[in-house]
A = this chain, B = another copy of it.
């Protein structure tokens, strides 16, 4: 069978749309790939011609949200914010775009964004993480921290960011205000670290 480029794009789009719909209603884990295929008018196996895994399919939406969030950020950023303010704006821009995906975000992010070592790393997940961290590094650079933060700082940033996502993903307060304090604290803490606060190592040595 051969299909027009247009039909192919339409299939891909339809899969993403239907998947988002069903994920939202039934959750990520209770939605089967057969559900999605059939709802998209395709056979069970065909879905995997478009996305190599259920995880990648979901992460495609997340990655898109991340990208849009970054664009929003660039548009909203005035350049007059201090480092903490700018990071807050950056994180908030991302969350705003992730908002529609919130009902099924938990299991997806847990699998794909986690820094725990795994066998089959999801490509989209890696890309999302690197893209995000890269943007953070750029922001930091613009604020005059010439020496790039080391692995310690960036590892801590990612840990805190995942914590924010996890908390925010099931923050029951109407507009996720409860998450704001967490974001605020986390960012301020991170800024302190890369500002070199307490940068003498080995104070507590108890190995």
Contact = CB atoms under 8 A, between A and B. Distances in A.
Contact of A184 (B114, B118, B187, B204): B204
Task: Give the most central of A29, A110, A187: most B CB within 10 Å.
Answer: A110
Task: Give the most central of A87, A197, A206: most B CB within 10 Å.
Answer: A206
Interface string A113-147: 01111111000000000000000000000000000
B166 A114 contact: yes
A75 to B, nearest CB: 13
A201 B182 contact: no
A93 to B, nearest CB: 9
Contact of A201 (B164, B181, B205): B181
Interface stretch (A4-12, A13-21, A154-162): A154-162
A51 interface: no
Contacts of A53: none
Contacts of A153: 185
Given A119-B27, A163-B156, A192-B189, A84 B204 contact: yes
A147 B81 CA distance: 34
A46 interface: no
A156 B189 contact: yes
A147 B1 CA distance: 69
B110 A106 contact: no
Interface string A156-197: 101110111111011000000000111011111100110001
A159 to B, nearest CB: 3
A107 B178 CA distance: 30
8 contacts: A29-B119, A29-B120, A81-B206, A84-B204, A88-B206, A152-B182, A158-B163, A159-B160
Interface of A: 27, 29-30, 81-82, 84-85, 87-89, 92, 105-107, 109-111, 114-120, 151-153, 155-156, 158-160, 162-167, 169-170, 180-182, 184-189, 192-193, 197-198, 201-207
